[in-house]
C-alpha cells in the first residue's frame, strides 16, 4: 500500500525539491492532493505529479478532512508554517515542514507541543544533512575524531544572491531575510555536528545597507534585479552564540555583501584533536570536506573524498540529498528508523535565529533561562 501524500504550497521549493523527490519515490507514495492560494499553481503541479483525480484546492482544510491522506507537506512562506503544521498534526497527519521550523520561537513551540500531543511524526526540511560530505563529517564527529568541539562558524554567505521570486523580500510573510532563509541550514548543520542544543546567550547584528539603496543597474544580482522599494529584510546578519558548556558558535549570513567569499550550508569546526571545514554549496569549492590536524609534528590538511560510493542509509547507491531526505522520512513513518531531523533540534535553530533578530533590534544580548 502506497502512502498518500498531499502538498500545501505548490511554489518554488515544492517544484525544485519535494515534488521531484516524491516522484522518484513513486514506488512508495502517491500524491493525491495539491493546495495553493494561486489555484493555477496547484492545477499545474497536480497535472505533472498527481494521481488521476487528485484533489486541487485553495483551502488547506479540504485536504485535512480527507482521512485517506496520511502525510502533509507544508511548503509555504515561513510565517504560515505554524498554523498549517499544527492543524495537520491535530488532524492526525504526519508533517514534513520546509525549513525553517517557524518564524518565531513562540510559533515553533506551538508546533512542538502539537507534535508531542499528536502521536504523529513532524520533521523539518534540512536536506543538507543528507549530503555525502555532511554525513561523512557527522560520522567523524560521532567517532571523536575532532575531540571536544569548542568553536564553530556557521557560514551562509552570498555576495549577490537575493531570491527575486515569491515573497522572499517580504518581511511580514518570511519573518526575515538571509538569516532565516539560508543561515538556518548552516546553523542546523553546525548544531548537529556538535550534538549541542543548549544555547546560553545570543548577541546579533543585522544590516540594512544595500537592499534598499542599490538601483537595478548597480546590483549585479545573479537571480535578476530586485526592487529596492519593496526590499524589507536584512542584507546580512551575524550572530555570536555561547553554549551552556562554554563552547562558541558564530553565524555569518548574507544575500548582499561586498565579500570575496560565497558559500552556503557551510561550517568550520574546531576541536581539541582536529578541525574540519565543510565548504558547503556554491562557489568553486562545492561540497568539499577538509580536515586539519598535526601528524608527525607537521600541520596537515586532508581532503576527505566523499564523492565515491553510495550514501549512508543506502549503501551502494548514489542519491541526491533531496532523495535521501525523502527516503529516510518515509522509512521513519514506516518505523524502519528514527527521524534524522528531529523537531526538538529544529526548535533550537529557530530559537537562536529569533534571538539574533531580537538582539539586533534591541542592541542587547539575549540570555536564555
Span 142-165, pLDDT tens digits: 999 999 999 999 999 999 999 999
Residues 167 and 311 in one domain: yes
Q: Is residue 64 part of a domain?
A: yes
Residues 83 and 195 in one domain: no
Cβ density class 7-21: b for 16+ within 10 Å, e for less: bbbbbebbbebbbbb
Which of 125, 149, 181 corresponds to the end of one domain?
A: 125
pLDDT band at 212 (very low <50, low <70, confident <90, very high): very high
Residues 70 and 211 in one domain: no
Residues 137 and 78 in one domain: no
Rounded distance between C-alpha atoms, residue 117 and residue 343, angstroms = 13
Residues 198 and 312 in one domain: yes
Q: Is residue 295 part of a domain?
A: yes
Phi, psi for 280 (deg, rounded to 5) = 80, -160
Give me the pLDDT at residue 114, please: 98
Give me the pLDDT at residue 262, please: 87
Q: Is residue 337 part of a domain?
A: no
Q: Is residue 336 part of a domain?
A: no
Judged against a pLDDT cut of 80, whether residue 46 lies above it is answered with yes
Give me the pLDDT at residue 319, please: 84
Residues 110 and 171 in one domain: no
Q: Is residue 166 part of a domain?
A: yes
- The proportion of the chain whose per-residue pLDDT surpasses 70, expressed as a percent, equals 98
CATH number for position 244: 3.30.360.10
Judged against a pLDDT cut of 60, whether residue 309 lies above it is answered with no
Judged against a pLDDT cut of 80, whether residue 92 lies above it is answered with yes
Q: What is the mean pLDDT of the chain?
A: 95
Q: Is residue 323 part of a domain?
A: no
Q: Is residue 185 part of a domain?
A: yes
Any alpha helices (H) in the chain, and if so which ranges?
Answer: 12-13, 19-24, 39-49, 61-64, 81-90, 105-118, 132-142, 171-174, 178-181, 183-194, 216-219, 321-333, 343-362
Residues 186 and 203 in one domain: yes
Q: Is residue 339 part of a domain?
A: no
Choice between 120 and 261, residue whose per-residue pLDDT is larger: 120
pLDDT band at 312 (very low <50, low <70, confident <90, very high): confident
Mean pLDDT of 312-327: 84
Q: Which domain holds residue 300?
A: 130-316+349-367
Which of 98, 125, 152 corresponds to the end of one domain?
A: 125
Judged against a pLDDT cut of 60, whether residue 138 lies above it is answered with yes
Which of 108, 125, 142 corresponds to the end of one domain?
A: 125
Residues 65 and 167 in one domain: no
Residues 120 and 183 in one domain: no
* Of the candidate ranges 32-36, 110-114, 299-303, the one whose mean pLDDT is the lowest: 299-303
pLDDT band at 306 (very low <50, low <70, confident <90, very high): confident
Residues 16 and 161 in one domain: no
Rounded distance between C-alpha atoms, residue 92 and residue 116, angstroms = 12
Order of all β-strands in the sheet with 71-74: 55-57, 29-35, 3-8, 71-74, 94-98, 122-125
Residues 95 and 195 in one domain: no
CATH number for position 54: 3.40.50.720
Say how many domains are in the chain: 2
What CA–CA distances, in Å, run from 115 to 28, 188, 351? Answer: 24, 20, 17
Judged against a pLDDT cut of 60, whether residue 172 lies above it is answered with yes
Residues 257 and 297 in one domain: yes
Mean pLDDT of 178-188: 98
Amino acid at each position: 500500500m502506497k502512502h498518500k501524500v498531499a502538498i500545501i504550497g505548490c511554489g518554488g521549493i515544492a517544484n525544485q525539491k519535494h515534488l521531484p523527490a516524491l516522484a522518484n519515490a513513486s514506488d512508495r507514495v502517491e500524491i493525491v492532493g495539491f493546495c495553493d492560494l494561486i489555484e493555477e499553481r496547484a492545477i499545474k503541479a497536480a497535472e505533472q505529479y498527481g494521481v488521476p483525480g487528485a484533489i486541487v484546492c485553495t483551502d488547506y482544510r479540504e485536504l485535512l478532512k480527507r482521512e485517506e491522506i496520511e502525510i502533509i507537506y507544508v511548503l509555504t512562506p515561513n510565517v504560515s508554517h505554524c498554523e498549517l503544521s499544527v492543524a495537520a498534526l491535530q488532524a492526525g497527519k504526519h508533517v514534513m515542514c520546509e525549513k525553517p521550523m517557524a518564524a518565531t520561537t513562540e510559533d515553533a513551540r506551538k508546533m512542538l507541543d502539537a507534535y508531542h500531543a499528536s502521536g504523529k511524526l513532524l520533521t523539518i526540511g534540512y536536506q543538507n544533512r543528507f549530503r555525502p560530505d555532511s554525513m561523512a563529517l557527522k560520522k567523524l564527529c560521532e567517532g571523536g575524531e575532532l575531540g571536544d568541539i569548542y568553536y564553530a562558524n556557521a557560514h551562509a554567505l552570498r555576495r549577490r544572491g537575493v531570491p527575486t521570486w515569491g515573497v522572499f523580500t517580504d518581511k511580514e510573510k518570511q519573518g526575515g531575510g538571509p538569516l532565516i532563509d539560508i543561515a538556518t541550514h548552516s546553523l542546523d548543520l553546525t548544531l548537529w555536528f556538535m550534538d549541542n542544543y543548549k544555547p546560553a546567550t545570543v548577541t546579533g547584528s543585522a544590516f540594512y545597507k544595500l537592499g534598499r539603496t542599490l538601483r537595478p543597474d548597480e546590483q549585479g544580482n545573479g537571480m535578476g534585479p530586485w526592487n529596492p522599494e519593496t526590499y524589507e529584510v536584512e542584507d546580512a546578519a551575524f550572530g555570536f552564540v555561547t553554549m551552556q558548556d562554554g563552547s562558541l558558535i558564530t553565524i555569518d549570513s548574507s544575500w548582499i555583501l561586498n565579500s570575496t567569499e560565497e558559500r552556503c550550508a557551510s561550517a568550520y569546526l574546531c576541536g581539541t584533536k582536529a578541525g574540519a571545514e565543510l565548504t558547503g554549496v556554491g562557489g568553486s569549492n562545492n561540497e568539499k570536506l577538509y580536515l586539519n590536524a598535526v601528524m608527525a609534528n607537521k600541520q596537515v590538511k586532508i581532503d576527505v573524498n566523499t564523492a565515491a560510493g553510495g550514501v549512508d542509509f543506502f549503501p551502494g547507491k548514489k542519491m541526491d540529498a533531496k532523495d535521501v531526505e525523502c527516503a529516510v522520512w518515509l522509512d521513519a513513518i514506516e518505523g524502519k528508523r528514527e527521524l534524522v531531523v528531529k523537531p526538538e533540534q529544529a526548535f533550537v535553530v529557530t530559537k537562536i535565529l529569533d534571538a539574533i533578530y531580537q538582539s539586533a533590534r534591541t542592541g542587547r544580548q539575549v540570555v536564555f533561562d
